[in-house]
Amino acid sequence: MTLVKWNSNENSNLPAFSNLLENFFGRDLSDFVGRDFTSSVPAVNVVETADAFKVEVAAPGLKKENFQITFHNNVLTIGSKTEHSTEDTKGKYARKEFGYTSFQRSFTVPNTVDTEKIEANYTDGILNVRLPKREESKEKSARQISIS
């Protein structure tokens, strides 16, 4: 659906109503309210190696205390909640802003994972979660079988 420019009085010096709508709706919400209002989900890489699955979450600017990692019914859930506020009082005016940011990602984990040995660390803006495979499910190297 597109807006069609229409102006009932072509000689008017006022902008057409559709131009006002285009100016308002054609912009990102962050142009009006600031970047903190929009939310985004961090990029996630999932890598399988011979002995583990590795989940890497790009989340710069957070602290390890901001994350919640849970494992329940073969579902790994990684989430974060942060709140922040600023207050500026000068002279006869005051400004107070606050924000709330959160995300949550869930992954179904195969039965081959040793759930008791899942580990996580947060370094340089990257949350790394390691899900080691059970010994019996790790890939075995190929072996030569002799013919008798």
pLDDT given for residue 138 in this prediction: 76
Point out which residues pair with 70 in neighbouring strands.
Answer: 77
pLDDT given for residue 114 in this prediction: 94
pLDDT given for residue 95 in this prediction: 78
- Is residue 122 within 8 A of residue 69, CB to CB? The reply is no
Band (pLDDT 50/70/90 cuts) for residue 126 is very high
Domains of the chain: 37-137 (2.60.40.790)
Band (pLDDT 50/70/90 cuts) for residue 123 is very high
For residues 18-47, average pLDDT: 60
For residues 126-134, average pLDDT: 95
- Is residue 3 within 8 A of residue 18, CB to CB? The reply is yes
CA atoms within 13 A on the CB side of 90: 1
User: Which residue from 46, 66, 68 is spatially nearest to 57, judged by alpha carbons?
Assistant: 46
Residue 125's region, left for phi above 0, alpha for psi from -120 to 50, else beta, is left
pLDDT in tens, 14-29: 555 555 555 555 555 4
Residue 87 has pLDDT above 60, yes or no: yes
Residue 49 has pLDDT above 80, yes or no: yes
Residue 78 has pLDDT above 70, yes or no: yes
pLDDT given for residue 113 in this prediction: 93
Residue 4 has pLDDT above 90, yes or no: no
